[in-house]
Amino acid sequence: MSEIEFAVIGAVIAFDVLTTSWYAAALHKKLAMKMQAFTALFLASGRAMLMLGGILLGMLMQHTLGQYSFPSAMSLLVIVGIKSALDSINYNVDEKVILIDNITTALLLSAAGGIGAFLTGLAIGTAGGPLLLPVFSAFFATLFLVIAGVKAGEHYGFKPSIKYAGLLSGIVVVCFGVIHLVLHII
């Protein structure tokens, strides 16, 4: 895999944050509250740090797995993509929308949403990918998508169809994983 492909995966895995920020902003608007300015930065930096941790751990695992490291990484990427796609299909607005009114809530949301980023980083590190390019890609994609989601949520309110942004993300990640796994086997 090329470094650009790893960067694309880092950016694509962040698409689920669009739904979260859109619905959170719509809730804030409904309650006549303003979204906190630190939300985008906390979500982006939290996911980036978790991805970095995953990449570092994956680099350590690469030596242990030896010749199985790349197939293992691509299999993990496929699993993360499937989970992301299923999460977007099963997204229930009544259960998942939260009021982000303090730093603790923003950090917890970042940690909960960053599990996919951590596992993606684990796959990237295990596959022998670059250290910082996917992390920067995930950081700036998350930052952009949170800001876009907040602006759209404030303007359009609750839109049920936006939950499928994560479905696209999951499909793209699954395709990357399957294509590279098949190419590696052949």
For residue 146, CA distances in Å to 18, 64, 85, 167, 174 come to 6, 37, 19, 17, 23
CA dihedral 70, 86, 131, 125 (to 10 degrees): -30
At 99 the pLDDT is 74
CA–centroid distance for 16 within its chain: 6
Cα–Cα dist 11/31, whole Å: 31
- Domain residues of the chain, as ranges? 3-185
Q: Which residues of the chain have pLDDT under 50?
A: none
At 109 the pLDDT is 81
At 186 the pLDDT is 80
Tens digits of per-residue pLDDT, 21-62?
888 888 888 888 887 777 888 889 999 999 999 999 999 999
> Could you give the residue ranges of the DSSP H alpha helices within the chain?
3-12, 16-30, 38-65, 69-89, 93-96, 103-113, 115-126, 133-156, 165-185
At 50 the pLDDT is 95
